Every structure is written in C-alpha cells, then in structure tokens.
Structure 1
Amino acid sequence: ALLSAPNIEEPMGLRDKAMLELLYATGLRVTELVGLRMEQINLRQAVVFVKGKGNKERLVPLGEEAMYWLEQFLKLGRAQMIKHATDFVFPSKRGVGMTRQTFWHRIKHYAILASVESPLSPHTLRHAFATHLLNHGADLRVVQMMLGHSDLSTTQIYTHVANERLKSVHAEHHPRA
C-alpha cells in the first residue's frame, strides 16, 4: 500500500514513487538515496554505484520494478522539477538536493495516505529489503555487501527476523511441530 500511495500523475509523486521503489529494491541508506547523483546510476546494466559510510563503494542491482519507476521519473518527471542544473537524481521541489528529513516527512505522508498504522521510516524499507532477501535464501555475506555493512554482525541482526519466519513456517507446515 505504501509503494502505491504517491500520485504518479504529478512529477513530485513520480519522484517519490521512484524513490520508494529504489529504497525497497536496493536497501540503500536514506542519506545514500537522497545524495544519489546521475553518474552513480547505470540504466543499461540496471545497477547503482553507491558510496556509503566511510566512502566505501558498492554495486547494487536495481531490480525490475525500481528500474521501471526510475526510468519513468527520469523521462517524465525530473526535468519538470529542476530549476537549476543539478546532478542529483531526486531533486527537491525547489530543484536542488533533498534532505533526509524531507524524505522522512514524505514517507510519513504516504504512510498516512496508505493507512499504515505501524511506525514507518526510511530504515523500515531497508530492513524489509534485507529481511526479504534472507527469508528467500540469500547468502548473509551477499546481503552484507549490498547493505554496505563492514561488519557481518551488523547484518546478522536481520537474521533474527528470518529465524522467526523459519519457526513460524515450521510450526505451520510440519506435522509434529
């Protein structure tokens, strides 16, 4: 519901839709997302080059849905939002780089529109990204690389949720659970 909340008929809504899809598909930190520059995106290879904490670089696949909405925004919405030359992928409504606080407010706005009652933040989508990968069998080290964690123990926080999912699936489907 949250990912469908932005009004994609308006440039700002199209931008927000692309940002939400990208955040969910890549697990970027919100500061990495709002600071994303045009040269960091390779549409042909469907990847984003991220400079994360400590200036560590990583390559993250975009995924089909995020790629689609990013292309839509770049083709149809971005030019209408830019008032001055900028290489920020996602400009604010003033046409310059967006702050992480502004994006956090946008997410709160869409959470209300989508009637999401649980607490929601940009990090919630990063957490969902990691949890979904782990729940579907992704290797912990690969998830670590995609999230840009230098320490594997940071990524292991997400395995708790994956372990809970394993327990519930076992309880639901095993005859002697």
Structure 2
Amino acid sequence: MSADGVDAFLEMLAAERGAALNTLKAYRRDLDDLGSMLAGQGASLPQASARQLGAYLSGLAQAGLSARTQARRLSCLRQYYLFLVREGRRPDNPASMLEAPRLRAALPRFLSEGDVESLLAACVARADAGAQEVRRMLVARTALEILYASGLRISELLSLPRAALERMTGMLLVRGKGGRERMVPLSARARDAADELMRLDRPLRSAFLFPGRSPLRPMTRQGFDRILHDVALKAGLDPRHLSPHVLRHSFATHLLSHGADLRALQMLLGHADIATTQIYTHVLTERLQEALRQHHPLSEHAVA
C-alpha cells in the first residue's frame, strides 16, 4: 500500500463498489487537493485531524465552490478515512462528524407529454429530402423513442450495441454507471424505429445501433446534440431547454404521474440509491394533493 493509501482506496472503490472512472478521477483530485493543503502545514493526508478537515471544507466555501461540490468532497473524505480505519491505518474517522453543506432541492426540468409528442412528430424528413436527411430523422426518432421509453442516460444510449436490439425481446439489457447492468422495457414504437434504423444501416456493418462518422465508433454526444437541436426547432421548442437529461427526467416524471412506484422507477433509472430517485417525489406530492382535493369529504372540490 502507498504511504497515503490513496491508490489502495481507489482500487477498493473500483473493485468492490464498481465506481465509475470519472468518480475515481474526481476522488483522486479531491484527495490530492487536500494533501497539498496539509503538506503546506507540515501534515500528512492519513494523519489529518478533524480540525484540519473542517478548515479545508471552510476554505472551499470561501473559494466559492458550490454546496454540491463541497458535499461530494466531504463524501470522498468520509469514505477515504473509513477505509484507513478498516485497514488499521488510524483509529478514528476524522471526517465522520463534519457537517455537510445544505443542498438546495432543485426540481428536475421536464417536458410536458404534449411537448414530447411534438418532438417525436418532428422527426420526419421532408418529402423532397435526400437520403442523408431521411437517415438523420430516423436516427432522431429512434433515439428519442428509446430515451423516452426507457429513461436511459445519453451515454448508455449511444453505446448501445446493435446486438442488444436485434433480439427484440421487449426488454433491453443496459450497462450503466460503474458497469452495473439492468433490464429496461422498450415500447413497440421504439422497437419499430430501431428495427427500421438497423435495416437501413446494415451496409455499414457497425457494432453500434447509433454509429458515428466512422462505423467503428458510436455517435458522439456532440453529434447527437446537433440532431436534437434541429428537431427541437422543427417542433417549436426552445433547444436551450432541451437535453437528453431533460428527456430522462420527463420519462421519470410522466411514469410517476401515471401511478408508477418509486422503487420500480429507481430500478429503471439505474440509481444505486433510492435517495437519488427521490428528486421526483414532487410528482407524488402533487398527485396526493390532487387526490385530497378530489376525494376528501371536507374539500370544496370533492367529488360527490
């Protein structure tokens, strides 16, 4: 194990918890940043005190870092020092009693059901369009149908192998964050669009459902963003308020508003923690309030 135990800590996260590469890189940056501050005080990362960690976090706030970034760094510190305790490197976790900054609950932005239908209806090429434009609109329709039917992250969508869709079983195996796999259902419309796209793209011999400029690689996020921008304009929507993540939020919000269970939604979205899924509870709250207005005997809107 290295002197500070950081390499072993990150290896543990990757092996035991399936931490994503970006998470590991962020945690290393966080620990390197703290280590630099401690070194300037003649201290070391493994032997830091709660007072020193508290001063470090206060410095982040004073430097203007967001509450979310501060909370992520505190989470990293808690896990790192807990790892050192379990490895017998120190007797206590100095980060365990530090308070996390309060995060403002930001409601996810989502489209109305009508906006989603307008977006999908706009994925049609003009009657006089050439082959390139026809394919472009088919790519748009297939991608949007799958995003809205399954709630995939854009990275999950663009990396979909063609083989996963060729079976067409009604369920799709998705590899998500940290390599975790989950099954998500596909609507008939999404399956039909994917089937049409695969027939059109068969000469490309690509392993991906959405090949990029080179069939050997998937489409880039930037390439998809350009397609989404154009479709939004055709649908009369503001492209600035539209993104793949907005479609994911729309999928979740509309499912809950039609009676889906929060735990089932967690599984569909691939959230490791139910707390992440609870950002959508505003929909449940609205549903409960409406039920109260409609059915409570003392409500002036109650149905007789």
Supply the AA of the counterpart residue of 2:201. R
Corresponding residue for residue 232 of structure 2: 111
Moved more, 29-38 or 133-142: 133-142
Corresponding residue for residue 143 of structure 1: 265
Supply the AA of the counterpart residue of 1:140. L
Output the aligned Cα RMSD.
Answer: 2.1
Match runs of 1:22-171 below 5 Å: 22-41=146-165, 43-75=167-199, 77-79=200-202, 82=204, 85-95=205-215, 96-117=217-238, 119-168=241-290, 171=293
Matched-pair contact (CA < 8 Å) for 2:165–2:194: no
Q: CA deviation at 1:93?
A: 4.7
2: CA distance, partners of 1:162 / 1:141:
13
2: CA distance, partners of 1:108 / 1:36:
22
Structure 1 unaligned residues grouped into runs of 5+? none
TM-score normalised per structure 1: 0.86
Q: CA deviation at 1:168?
A: 4.9
Q: CA deviation at 1:43?
A: 3.7
Moved more, 54-63 or 131-140: 131-140
2: CA distance, partners of 1:163 / 1:69:
35
Matched-pair contact (CA < 8 Å) for 1:5–1:110: yes
Question: Which SS does the other structure have where 1:107 is aligned?
Answer: helix
TM-score normalised per structure 2: 0.52
Supply the AA of the counterpart residue of 1:53. K
Q: CA deviation at 1:63?
A: 1.3
Query: For 2:145, which of 18, 21, 26 is the aligned residue?
Result: 21
Higher CA-based Rg: 2
* Structure 1 residues 40-99: Cα deviation after superposition (integer angstroms, max 9, x where no partner): 235441111100000000000101111121112222x2236x2xx320111135534101
How many residues get paired?
A: 172
* Structure 1 residues 99-146: Cα deviation after superposition (integer angstroms, max 9, x where no partner): 112212211211111111371111111111111111111111111011
Q: Relative contact order (alpha carbons < 8 A, sep ≥ 6): 1 or 2 greater?
A: 1
